[in-house]
Chains A and B, each alone.
Chain A
Amino acid sequence: MEFLTEIWSFFTFSEPNVKVVFWGSLILCSISGLVGTFTLLRKRSLIGDVISHAVLPGIALAFIIGQQKNPLYLIIGATITGWISTYLVDYITKHSKIKNDTAIALILSVFFGVGVLLLTHIQHSGNASQSGLDQFIFGRASAMNMSDVWLFSIVGTIITILIVIFFRGLSLLSFDENYSQSIGFPNELLKLILSITTVTTVAMGVQAVGVVLMSALLITPAACAKFWTNKIIPMAILALVISGASGVLGSAISYTYNGMPTGPWIVVVVSLFAFISAFIGRKNGLLKKYLQRSKNNTKILRENTIKLFFNPKTLGETQFSFEDIFAKSKMQRATLKKGLSLLKSDKLITTNQGTYATTSLGIEEAKTIVRKHRLWELYISKFMHLQPDHVHDDAEGIEHVITPEIERELEKELDFPTKDPHDSDIPY
């Protein structure tokens, strides 16, 4: 209950500081979601990781030079070292036999090490105003003030405008770099814009999330959005919204517990969004895949069962007992029973005291599936020169995916055949 009232007091801005935290984390996280979309699409997510660790020495150096915690200096320092780190990763990968992942791991950890060395040096040298400098490691949104928020809004607006202006070029660069080059887009300029916006975003974002977890804000929202859409504009907007929402929720939670760093909570919230999206997302989501698979399985079971009723001489007349059908099938008992009940509910068969007979609808269905099977057998034995005894297994699978259009093509190609490779009739 206390938790709820605390959360309530956060969202009603009951304390003036809360307004700063709210807007600060909203702006920072939204922008990183937007920028992260391009990083993700360019498969450079881990570069975000490098940048976020590499801003630490920049922050420390800016502090040593400026002797105070001026947000603008810190962002400039962070941007410079962050940009150097991406440049170094690319340079090392391009000019030596060192692989990309090694270069990433090396630059990330060495820059971070330098940052830690400088930071501890500042702490031990006992500069009073250094307090609050280590908030950059895990982020403390509550330490932000109104001038920080203004700075974020201005820089954020500039980044957004840059992305909107160069949107076409940036999308093309993200999806197909070589094509973009070949039709004369200024690839190098676009890459520069993207890396500057990424680095600046990270440099600002470390205030709320901290250097260690900043990379999550670039990667995770965009990955969430990718589970819902393949189009870049909706994806960028969705990433922005998810990220902004996580920023606000995360800082609300950390606000209610005293002394809790903001970064981890924001990351946990955004990761939960990612898990939910991975389960119920429309693209590649687990649930979607499961439904698709069970739909396919039902279709295959239905078609395989009706096929068992196909008998050229007595089609539609005979009453089959369950054991007859079971002997013909290669299915488990339970599976067959399920198949039969499917057919019955579709009115393809009728039952009468434990025996089964096909309806006229069922006869057509059985004919169709056997026709597809035999046409395919004939097709591959004729055009791929397979022996007649090798074609059955392939046709068993393909018969379920042949559409009426393909069926017509096959008939035309084979000149409306009457016999399959095993010399059985093809039913029409």
Chain B
Amino acid sequence: MIDFWIILTASLVATTTAILGCFLIMRKMAMIGDAISHAVLPGIVIAYYISHSRASLPILVGAAASGMVVTYLIQFFNQKVKLQQDASIGISYTFLFAIGIILISLFSGNVDLDQDCVLYGEIAYVPLDHMSIAGHYAGPRQVWILGSTLIIILTSVIIAYRKLVLTTFDPAFASAMGISVVLWQYYLMAGVSLTTVVSFESVGAVLVIAFLSGPAATAFLLTKDFKKMIYLAVGFGISASILGYYTAVWLAGSIAGAIATVIGLQFAIAFIYIQFVRKAHISQTLENKALTEV
């Protein structure tokens, strides 16, 4: 049963992040996801410290606040003082992440968080923290939280699908149609922040980027159809969760780390397939065609 809950948790994270990841990588915003996932740390720690609990609401508020700080810092460096984009992102999130780690060390004892958890989560402990409804066992708390996040993200994406796609692929046309590109960007960023925060406990700050960018990138290699890309990405995410879990059990290592490894392998296989197999196939076809034409 524990296996099931862990795999279910990982799959929920993977599904939510895969959907958002498809939009992120098409918008060339994968590194903004990276920045946000690091930068929410101080907010989360302060929220833990103040509320003395793992209650979700204060943590969401704290994370949202520090997410806003990092967005502002990046904008400050990039636009107010004309620092190049990559350096602006780099300075801002490392600073906030460092503050977060310092806060964890300062509050250690008062805060039920440790440095390792920040990096690769505690998905193995997810089944221990369970809820009960009317005295009946109702599954781990994380599963409920991640499940509702998935539903929220899924509904938001379905409702705004056309607009999100349009602003992603043709922002110029979208603004000509009167659709605000900035507004939908923030809509997406809000989704990314929410997902990052709730996934934080189970996969950690760094590995959530693997979930965001990996399955989406693999799917992008294999198809040109955006809808198909989303389905494929979700498929890759879930299969990586299952394979990753058993890899971790086999190696007695971190589950989130193992899932990230499997995500990397999936990408490598797809990449090699595209690079060599398909290219060889295409040149073979071209050769045959040339022969028949002669």
Contacts and interface: CB of A to CB of B under 8 A. Distances in A.
Given A101-B29, A278-B81, A109 B214 contact: yes
Nearest to B99: A268
B176 to A, nearest CB: 24
A247 interface: no
B84 interface: yes
Interface of B: 25, 28-31, 33-34, 76-77, 80-84, 86-87, 89-91, 94-95, 97-99, 101-102, 105, 108, 115-116, 119-120, 206-207, 209-210, 212-214, 216-217, 220-221, 247-248, 251-254, 256-261, 263-264, 267, 271, 274-275
Contacts of A137: 115-116, 119
A219 B94 contact: yes
Q: Which of A95, A97, A110 has the most CB of B within 10 A?
A: A110
A220 B253 contact: no
B84 A43 contact: yes
Contacts of B216: 102
19 contacts: A96-B274, A101-B29, A105-B212, A106-B264, A109-B260, A113-B258, A113-B263, A117-B247, A117-B254, A119-B253, A120-B120, A213-B97, A219-B90, A223-B83, A226-B83, A261-B101, A264-B97, A271-B98, A286-B81
A108 B209 contact: yes
Nearest to B108: A259
Contact of B89 (A46, A97, A109): A46
Contacts of A259: 105, 108
Given A268-B95, A268-B98, A109 B253 contact: no
A273 to B, nearest CB: 10
Nearest to A111: B264
Interface string A30-63: 0000000000100111101100010000000000
B207 to A, nearest CB: 6
A352 B7 CA distance: 88
Contact of A220 (B33, B94, B105, B251): B94
B82 A213 contact: no
Interface of A: 40, 43-46, 48-49, 53, 92, 95-99, 101-106, 108-121, 124-125, 134, 137-138, 212-213, 215-216, 219-220, 222-223, 226-227, 257, 259-261, 263-265, 267-268, 271, 274, 278, 281, 284-286, 289
Contacts of A101: 25, 28-31
Contacts of B108: 259
A422 to B, nearest CB: 39
A375 B94 CA distance: 54
A117 B251 contact: yes
Q: Which of A53, A98, A274 has the most CB of B within 10 A?
A: A98
Contacts of B217: 98, 102-103, 106
Given A45-B90, A96-B274, A274-B91, A106 B28 contact: no
A48 B94 contact: no
Contacts, number: 215
Given A116-B256, A267-B95, A46 B86 contact: yes
Given A265-B102, A278-B76, 11 more contacts: A44-B86, A49-B34, A98-B217, A109-B209, A113-B256, A113-B261, A114-B260, A116-B254, A120-B252, A264-B98, A265-B98
Nearest to B204: A116
B98 A263 contact: yes
A257 B8 CA distance: 41
Contacts of A117: 247-248, 251, 253-254, 257-258, 260-261
B260 A257 contact: no
Contacts of A48: 90
Nearest to A52: B94
What 4 A-B pairs come out closest when comparing CB atoms? A113-B260, A110-B264, A116-B257, A216-B94
